[in-house]
Amino acid sequence: MTADQRFDATATTTCGYCGVGCKLEAHSRGARIVSISPATDGPANKGHACLKGRFAHQFSHSRERLTTPLIREGGTLRSATWEEAIGRIGAEFGRIRSDYGADAIAGLASARATNEECYAMQRVFRAGIGTHNIDCCSRVCHTPTSFGFRKALGLSGATGSFNDIEAAEVLLIIGANPTDAHPVVGARMKQAALNGTKLITVDPREIELADYGVLHCGPRPGTNVAFVNGLAHVMIRDRLTDLAFIAERTEGFDAVADLVANYAPHEVERITGVPAADIERAAHLYGEAERASIAWGLGVTEHRHGSDTVRMICNLALMTGKIGRVGCALLPLRGQNNVQGSSDMGALPDTFTAYRSVGDEATAQMFEERWGVTMSRERGLKMPEMLDAAIDGKVKAMWICGYDIAHSDPNIAHVANALDSLDFLVVQELFENETTKFADVVLPAAAFLEKSGTFTNAERRIQLVTAAADPPGAAKTDLEIYQMVSSAMGHELPWETAEDVMKEVAEMTPEFAGVTYERLGRSGLQWPVAPDGRDSPILYTDHFELPGGKAQFAALPYKPPGDEADADFPLILVTGRRLEHYNVGTMTRRTGNLELLPSDWLELHPDDAEANGIADGALVEVRGRQGSIEITARITDRIEPGHVFTGFHFPEVRVNLLVGPSADLDTGCPEYKVIAVAVSSVVRGGAKARPGRATVAARPTGSG
């Protein structure tokens, strides 16, 4: 039997898990997807797929899928028709807008949705409802990357592509664990190392790629700025800089040179814990290479000074001239499948598409003319501000799409308080979750395997998404739902298909001017895309997208993180991803992946386990300033002493109860990576308690 005979249909689509953007072939029989295989010509995955993209698709036909709208009555959710649900949303949004103004309504778009859907939602809020109060989950992951890139270089995206991994002689990986969080790219990095690329890993944990590298550095969480400034000190001191590039294409270098003169390796060792000799070696490996790239993840951005670290990373590339060339890429590893695209499409409170300010008069007038509305020139609320405003009674309603903030956001007791304070909450989701428990209306949405449009991956590659099955029951695509709600609010969205939406995006956005579905084809296009369809695998080959065409150095000193260990909380907790699961586990915990990883654990170093009397496999209490959780301990020497680590995929653990209000000062991105905690064994009446209990500190937790 041939492959074609085994399936009724096959659809080529783009994976809806992480930001690698693997091209997949989704095979269906009848109305059900039965198998997924990697496309052999995928530009990002090159014929490979991870265990999530290839095998974790059973969630799409889970019996727990939302298949009909739900409306809360008498404290419980009941099934409803679409007419009832949309009618109630229109009436409540209309009432609140009339009584309190449009700015009393706020929305959160989904980085799991398509570009077209994210564009549609921001248009609904700006033109249909009349507010810039629209944000997305890039706020809690890579907004510091976007901010740093725009300040230093001009555009908010990777400067090259994943192909630069193989082209680099040296690859510096900082604050990322690619083999778990971005497995296909992690495999490419591993293969590159086997073929001669020198890997430098920088992380409080000795990640898998450290086994393939030439150097591993384990800085204390929250000290990234000092570490990178230490590298810059050595490069300048030892004349590893490209003075011609600096003179011709940059501004502000002298201030950086003056600053990093104070970051000699022995001083950086004192701050970071990384041996001075390793700082010297890392600087020489990167600085002496003809071609070197830097990749990073949330271990860079999810800090109080995450934006500063991104600026410092840009400094390294600029002072050595390692930008705008093959093998010399700056590669932020985006966590969700369309976190790049959701921001590109203007699902942010301060920008339209391509990060053009809502305060820019010419841009605002162009959108006003296209949409037939008048808009404010003042930015809307960022997500943390929305939650604060809900508690203060200024935001009365929210619409949250594909984003379980009651599980995934920091300081979740504060999130729960905010959601409980709203007059009206709409949640658009695949399954009931922690956030739907607060909802007045729940709307059943289609999964990525059930819709068409585009995603934009971590290398700025716009790729087609093709439906391989129909949504279950009465569930609808996000785009269909946005059209219905917008119509109820008096603003008709003029599109019939997702392709129509992308045509509007291209007409309104110079960076997308040449994007058409036909041109995207099987390989996609990396924006900016010229009107004739030429795309941009490498940015900044001859100029930077800033006034004067020159990149901007930043002289930013090390400043302490928002939380630090002390006598009461002597350990630092870092959270991150596990290979088998994805984000809050909404999809993967409804697949066979749950059998591979049915629960989480806390990693701690043998020295810390001994000091606290903790045995391997023991149930422990993890106490922080905000609350406490219980979880099983595993002892490992792959984490630095003084630190503990766990994932965040299991809602019963509620690890984000421990995360406090500290956030990046420029963007509001939460500081998930520096949480002071104490760990002790749990003994309850001589019997071992079940893991997963969580308590909240009996005091105000702050606002974030």
112, 269 Cβ separation under 8 angstroms: no
Write out the two tokens for 424.
């009206």
SS (H, E, C) 93-130: HHHHHHHHCHHHEEEEECCCCCHHHHHHHHHHHHHHHC
Residue 120 to residue 137: CA distance in whole angstroms: 16
- DSSP, collapsed to helix, strand or coil, labels residue 616 as coil
Q: What is the pLDDT of residue 685?
A: 58
Q: pLDDT tens, 603-612?
A: 999 999 999 9
Assess whether pLDDT exceeds 50 at residue 687: no
H/E element, 627? strand 627-635
DSSP category for residue 535: -
Q: Band of the pLDDT at 237, cuts 50, 70, 90?
A: very high
Between 703 and 22, the higher pLDDT residue: 22
pTM of the model: 0.94
Region 64-73: mean pLDDT is 97
pLDDT, one tens digit per residue, over 398-435 is 999 999 999 888 888 899 999 999 999 999 999 999 99
Q: Quick check: do 82-141+337-449+474-509 and 571-696 share a fold?
A: no
pLDDT at 699 over 70: no
CATH class of 144-332: alpha beta
Tokens of 686: 């001589």
Distance from C-alpha of 126 to C-alpha of 120, rounded to nearest angstrom: 10
Is the pLDDT reported for residue 386 higher than 90? yes
Can you tell me the mean pLDDT for 33-37? 93
675-689: average pLDDT: 75
- CA pseudo-torsion sign 460, 466, 470, 476: positive
pLDDT average, residue stretch 688-696? 44
Which amino acid type is present at position 23? K
CA 98 to chain CA centroid, Å, is: 35
DSSP letter at 42 equals -
Q: Indicate if the pLDDT at residue 540 is higher than 90.
A: yes
pLDDT at 695 over 60: no
**With bands split at pLDDT 50, 70 and 90, how would you rate the model's confidence at 31?**
confident
Q: What is the CATH number of domain 82-141+337-449+474-509?
A: 3.40.50.740
Query: Distance of CA 63 to CAs 311, 319, 431, 475, Å?
Result: 47, 55, 10, 13
Tell me the average pLDDT of the chain: 93
What is the distance between the terminal CA atoms of the chain, rounded to a whole angstrom?
Answer: 59
**pLDDT tens-digit readout, 115-136:** 999 999 999 999 999 999 999 9
> Which residues partner with 24 through β-bridges?
13, 38
Would strands 292-296 and 170-174 be described as parallel, antiparallel, or unpaired? parallel
* Mean pLDDT calculated for residue range 51-65: 89
Share of the chain above pLDDT 70, in %: 96
Using a 10 angstrom Cβ sphere, with 0-12 exposed, 13-18 middle and 19 or more buried, the burial of residue 75 is exposed
422-480, pLDDT tens digit by residue?
999 999 999 999 999 999 999 999 999 999 999 999 999 999 999 999 999 999 999 99
The whole-angstrom distance between residue 590's C-alpha and the CA centroid of its chain comes to 22
CA distance 696 to 700: 10
Q: Which three-class secondary structure state does DSSP give residue 379?
A: coil
3-state secondary structure of 446: coil
Residue 684: its pLDDT value, please?
67
Q: Is the pLDDT of residue 106 over 50?
A: yes
* Per-residue model confidence (pLDDT) at position 648: 79
Output the pLDDT for position 670: 87
Per residue in 308-332, pLDDT (tens digit) is 999 999 999 999 999 999 999 999 9
pLDDT in tens, 637-653: 999 899 999 987 777 78
**Six token digits for residue 215:** 């150097």
- Going by their DSSP bridges, the two strands 250-251 and 215-217 should be labelled as unpaired
Q: pLDDT per residue over 274-289, tens digit each?
A: 999 999 999 999 999 9
Of the listed ranges 154-163, 241-250, 593-602, the one predicted with least confidence: 593-602
572, two tokens:
């630092």
DSSP type of residue 661: S
CA distance 459 to 186: 14
Considering only CA atoms, which of 413, 417, 419, 381 is closest in space to residue 397? 419
What per-residue confidence (pLDDT) applies to 140?
79
The predicted structure's pLDDT at residue 688: 42
Q: Is the pLDDT of residue 350 over 50?
A: yes
pLDDT of 415 reads 93
User: At residue 4, does pLDDT exceed 70?
Assistant: no
Structural domain boundaries of the chain? 3-61, 82-141+337-449+474-509, 144-332, 571-696
pLDDT of 595 strictly over 90: no
Q: CATH top-level class for 3-61?
A: mainly beta
Q: Tell me, what's the pLDDT at 123?
A: 98
CATH number of 571-696: 2.40.40.20
